[in-house]
A and B are shown apart, each in its own frame.
Chain A
Amino acid sequence: MPTIVIIGAGPAGMRAAETISRAGLVPILIDEAPRAGGQGYRTPASGISIDTHKLMGSQSKKYQQLHHDFLSIVSSIDYRPETLVWAIENNTLFTLSHNTIATIQFDCLIVASGATDRVYPMPGWTLPGVFTLGGMQLSLKDQGCAIGKKVVLFGSSPLLPLVALQYKNLGVEIAAICDTTGFAGKISALPSMVFSPGTFLRGLSYLASLTLSRTPLFFGVKPLSIEGDHRVRGIRFLTGSGQEKWIECDGVGLGYGLKPETQIADLAGAVFEPDEDLGLWLPRMDQDGRAGKNLYLAGDGAAIGGADAAEASGKLAALAALSSLGVYCDAKQQTRLQNTVRRLRAFQRGLARAFAPPQQFAETLADETVICRCEAIHAGTIRKALALSHTPPEMNRVKAITRCGMGRCQGRMCAPALQAMIIHHANQSLAQTGRLRGQAPIKPIPLSAAGETAP
């Protein structure tokens, strides 16, 4: 029997596993987290009396259905939670689980590695009390904790009002929601929203509820600084009309949309192409998610599309993998799924345009601003390196000179800012700017584990 490995147990990986299992094969499903669901559909830790139905709102049914369907097949697949894939060579995966390294040979690989928040620095963003928007939501959903008693949500993301409402419903004061994009941008993105009017209306209803409850909403803001002595005391920004505003708070959620976790696809040999529109390098794939020989990509780790697209693209990748192995697949179902994925990703592209990240902030960022959290590399250091460069600057060269992106997160947090600074400095395209290459181990692993290889 061929070995099909799926990496990531979010909605895409869970649906892929289910599809393969229903075809009579036993996939290996590897996930770094202890519980399935990914970040968005993660189930709360045991013992937390959180009303997920209320928290998930209109998404609650899909969330429950996904977990229900997964439960029905989980005993007939090889599910390996708490397992990190940290390298891939030829057709071998290197994993780490409970301090033990193992290898897995595969015939076919489906990568559903999900996404992280795309963040842009501002002075003070490394202070305790500042978290990513996704992290802020996870703290609540997964651990039952709020990141402060009085919080500000800052950035450009359709998630800003949703997360604010989730916090507000649990009694946390929302001091302000600050959106760096204006209303005008959102209106110009409207045509692509018609692909998924339900999602669009849901977003509007969140905003309406917040307006009714008199939550301070600011559009078209420019970040100035997050301030505090060893922890957040408040945030300073310019309003849309250019007025300076200071808001006291003890927690800040920061997010400018999502960015796929592409390191595994990179090591598996996917080819990347610049998407100048989204400002992201994305893996090249066909409409089924095929990105190479025996390599399939699904979910937000392949292209940001949201949870529904993740479920559909997970099924689609699994069907494509199955038919390449000679298992019969319903062509009509494949066509239906292709259409669904196309429609949902087009919608997300519209959203991404409406909530475009503030690339232009690169030029106004103070020299003292930390860009790389891991290595404590400041904007001024990067500017100096760029000024000395005789050739058009490229991401990996600037990384080598400054150490920006060379730390323990491997550029996951600083790459968007570094990219924006280089593009602005050299006035060049994303294609010319390049991308940070993925390197094994894709996450830090302890040296002590190297001596403990499983049989």
Chain B
Amino acid sequence: MDKQALLHRVVSRQGSIVPFTFDGETLEGYSGETILTAILCERAVLRQLEFSTEMRAGFCLMAACQDCWVWTRDGLRLRACSTPLSHGLDLLSTPPIMSEA
């Protein structure tokens, strides 16, 4: 997976930095920022499309296009552009049932 960030912080931000994991790797982000921001400030991809090898990383950023879904390890589906990051989230780019297969 592309480890070069897609998004870049251009404004300074105060707040606590919390760890979370994405596909098993430990990353850090600001508590309360969106999961999409936290992941894409460290990686270039959120998920792989169900129908091909195409990668996706969100599109509308306003909760309309549903192209930024990620999953928690226990199977909860999250819309990354509108879900806040919290300490210790264990996130996956594919639904857990598919990543085990």
Contact = CB atoms under 8 A, between A and B. Distances in A.
Given A116-B60, A149-B8, A408 B15 contact: no
Given A47-B30, A130-B59, A231-B2, A376 B54 contact: yes
Contacts of B55: 127-128, 230-231
A407 B59 CA distance: 15
B70 interface: no
A230 B41 contact: no
Interface of A: 32-34, 39, 45-50, 116-117, 126-132, 134-136, 138-140, 143-149, 170-172, 230-231, 251, 261, 373-376, 407-409, 412-413, 443-444, 446
A351 B73 CA distance: 47
A412 B8 CA distance: 27
Most B-side CB within 10 Å, residue of A33, A132, A136:
A132
Given A47-B30, A373-B65, 7 more contacts: A126-B49, A128-B56, A135-B62, A143-B7, A170-B11, A412-B60, A413-B60
A79 B12 CA distance: 30
A41 B8 CA distance: 22
A48 to B, nearest CB: 5
21 contacts: A34-B84, A45-B33, A49-B13, A117-B60, A128-B6, A128-B44, A129-B6, A132-B62, A135-B59, A138-B61, A139-B7, A143-B7, A144-B13, A145-B7, A145-B11, A230-B55, A231-B2, A231-B45, A374-B66, A409-B66, A446-B77
B90 interface: no
Contacts of B37: 139, 143, 145
B34 A143 contact: yes
A412 B37 CA distance: 23
Interface of B is mostly: loop
A-B interface, 8 closest residue pairs, ranked by CB to CB distance from nearest: A135-B61, A128-B57, A144-B11, A47-B15, A408-B66, A145-B7, A47-B14, A170-B10
B28 interface: no
A243 B14 CA distance: 47
B52 to A, nearest CB: 6
A135 B12 CA distance: 20
A134 B40 CA distance: 18
B61 A146 contact: no
A49 B15 CA distance: 11
A170 B12 CA distance: 11
Interface in B33-53: 33-34, 37, 40-41, 44-46, 49, 51-52
A97 B49 CA distance: 27
Contacts of A375: 51
Interface string B1-26: 01010111111111100000000000
B32 interface: yes
B86 interface: no
Nearest to B69: A408
A132 B6 contact: no
Given A49-B11, A143-B37, A444 B62 contact: no
A264 to B, nearest CB: 13
B14 to A, nearest CB: 4
